Amino acid sequence: MDVSGNLGGEIGIANPFKALTLTSKLSVDNLVYNHQEIGDFSFDASYDNDLAAVIMKGNLNYRETPTVDFTGTYKVKEIKDNFDLDLHFNNTDLTFLNGFMDAEVVSNINGKLNGNIHVSGEPDLPVLNGSVILNNASAIFSLLGCRYTINGKINVGESGFMVNKSLSLKDEDGNNAALDIVVSHNNFSNFGYNVNIDFENGYQTSKNTARLEKFLVLNTTYKEGDSYYGKAYATGHASITGEGSSMNVKVDLTTKKGSKVIFPMYGTSELEDESIIHFVSKEKKTEELPSKVNYSGIDLNIGLTLILMQILGWCSTNKRKMRSERVRKAN
């Protein structure tokens, strides 16, 4: 973790023997987290002796533009329901999230966030209610090499986050799939999730009822050691559900025109090192070799229909070329 910025602040005390009043101001300019610019943060707090409460307000400016602000109170003498805070997101730039993500999983996050969230309860057991709207929120998913863009409304409740209407999920070519998400929790522990992606019927509205012709699911270039790379389009459905360390992934897709996925032909020693293929003898019984990859907790179910016309056409064309080459050499 790498954090930098310019910290400043002040504390004031008034009427300490009659009506105590405390005030404080804290500011962090040019806040940077893990080499990602966050912005300028300010926080003001004062103690109201009559209310027996701390009154708070603050904001975050990103490149001199206000993006997040909050106001609230904390009642110091109350044990239950002592926290009351309102968060306002005003075209909040989402690039700051890059500092909190693993770039090998998700990178190049951008887009805007708007909405309001009310926080109540206690600081250690907060209760959230409200909604936020994602406006062209996008990111590159490194495993697939694809940038996806999300638009739509997410509801925030006491027990989690969910969508009442499917979110729009666009690939780099503008193909529009439908995304449904539910994330549940118990006081921000024991998280569970249910993600469904429909890239067959797609994201449909009253003005757009057409089914998707294709959706980009892979867009990678070759890197040494890759088992596959290329570009792939498909239609189908995908769902990811889980709780804790347990995950269930179900994918049912059909490849579409424009797909070109290459599987590099490594030598036998390279394949053996990767524990992908092991050569055995029919006459000699061999022990089952343990996998070097830990798949515990993951239930993976993939249904794949390949359209092989392009591959068959490639084979036919190259077969004719090989025959022509043999005839030429023979003559």
Is 273 in a helix, a strand, or coil? Answer: helix
What's the pLDDT at 328? 53
What's the pLDDT at 299? 65
For strands 246-255 and 298-305, give the pairing.
Answer: parallel
Give Cβ neighbours of residue 173 (< 8 Å, ≥ 6 apart): 216
Q: Which residues pair with 149 in a beta bridge?
A: 138, 170
What's the pLDDT at 177? 94
Q: What is the pLDDT of residues 271-321, one digit of tens each?
A: 444 444 444 555 555 555 555 445 555 566 666 666 654 444 444 444 444
Which residue in this structure is represented by tokens 């003005």?
207
What's the pLDDT at 322? 46
Determine the residue type at 132. V
Looking at every residue in the chain, the average pLDDT score rounds to 81
SS (H, E, C) 259-270: CEEECCCCCHHH
Full-model pTM = 0.75
Helix (H) or strand (E) segment spanning residue 311: helix 309-330
Predicted confidence (pLDDT) at residue 69 exceeds the cutoff of 50: yes
Q: What is the pLDDT of residues 86-124, one digit of tens each?
A: 999 999 999 888 888 888 888 999 999 999 999 999 988
What's the pLDDT at 224? 82
What's the pLDDT at 41? 92
**Please, are residues 52 and 118 in contact by the beta-carbon 8 Å criterion?**
no
The predicted model gives 169-192 an average pLDDT of 91
Predicted confidence (pLDDT) at residue 198 exceeds the cutoff of 80: yes
Predicted confidence (pLDDT) at residue 257 exceeds the cutoff of 70: yes
The predicted model gives 202-225 an average pLDDT of 85
Q: Alpha-carbon distance 168 to 73, whole Å?
A: 37
Q: What is the pLDDT of residues 129-139, one digit of tens each?
A: 999 999 999 99
The predicted model gives 26-36 an average pLDDT of 87
Q: Alpha-carbon distance 73 to 44, whole Å?
A: 12
**Please, are residues 53 and 31 in contact by the beta-carbon 8 Å criterion?**
no
